[in-house]
Structure 1
Amino acid sequence: MQAPSTYKAHFEEVYISFYSRMKRFAGQYVIREEDAENIVQDIFFELWEKQSEFTSFINLNGFLFMMLKNRCIDFLRRKTLEQQAAEEIQSEYIHTLKLKFESLEALENKFLTEADIDTIIQNAIDRLPEKCREIFVMNKIEGKKQKVIAQELNISIHTVESQMAIAYKKLKEALKDCVPLFLFLFI
């Protein structure tokens, strides 16, 4: 191993000789100047850390070129994967927006008046089993808490919860063509 001051002088000489060329080469492939600078800086940092190995290279040009080429390949591979992931997320987002837009447009055509909405919902509620309907009405229409309903009907809170779950399930099925409306009104 070379003495620290000798190594530092040798390192500075290599840095001055190769930095600009390496940055220019990297810039041709990674496009952004900051990315090219970071890649080259990382290579020189690694060389500084591996002092004993650095001084033993016979073909320094070839070694630096291979390191630079591999770092650029790794960078481009990572950026390509990141871009593909971002495009997939964007595509999914656009698809979801289109579905929601179409759903809202369809709702506009289905529900022309408030009376129509009330009739559709009342019919769905009327088709619930008797006890289930009673609990649902007490909770959602009358605004009573589940604990109060349990006390008034002399049943357990668990029964109220399970009956509400049944009501939601049956109403969701009955109003499947109106799911956004169902969600707006009851959940």
Structure 2
Amino acid sequence: MDYPVNASAGAVDVEMNFEGMFRAYFKSLHAYAYTILKDEDEAEEIVQQVFCRLWERRSSLQIVHSIQSYLYRSVYNDCLNALKHHKVRQAHRQYAMAQGEPESRGSAVSYKELQLRLSDALEKLPEQCRTIFQLSRFEDLKYREIADRMGISVKTVENQMGKALRLMRISLADFLPLFLFLFIETKIS
């Protein structure tokens, strides 16, 4: 059973199709997400996010294959991103524990110093590279969204992000564990 996402019928028909699609796929997508994440609430949140994005993009979204395969692929990608985020948070926790109390004076000084060094490192990046990095990490845009906004290819965004991260790692080598926690999270477009 396939449901049109951007049907030319009236808004009521589109809403009814969307609601039917939600009812038809939610439970199975939730079960699929749970097998990956092993967390009921997080699985539910992931599936709801996928449906929210689908609804928000319904007028411009072009699904090449079936809606079912699109939904499962979206849930899979979002689950992988969540798992990566868990690993980054865990690495930061271990780093923070190894460094001592986060409330200590030394940590506060390190964080302020990191902010200063981060600002300096950002200033040293080439303009396009800096813009792409800021859109990705500070505005939380996916590579495809950055490419569309800037009128460049996704491949260019990927290359520029790689360059930015490489240069930032060099500039912030002393703060690498904290830098990794704050900024290094792979985005799948």
Normalising to structure 2: TM-score of the pair? 0.46
Greater relative CO, 1 or 2 (CA 8 Å, sep 6+): 2
**Higher CA-based Rg:** 1
More helix by proportion, 1 or 2? 1
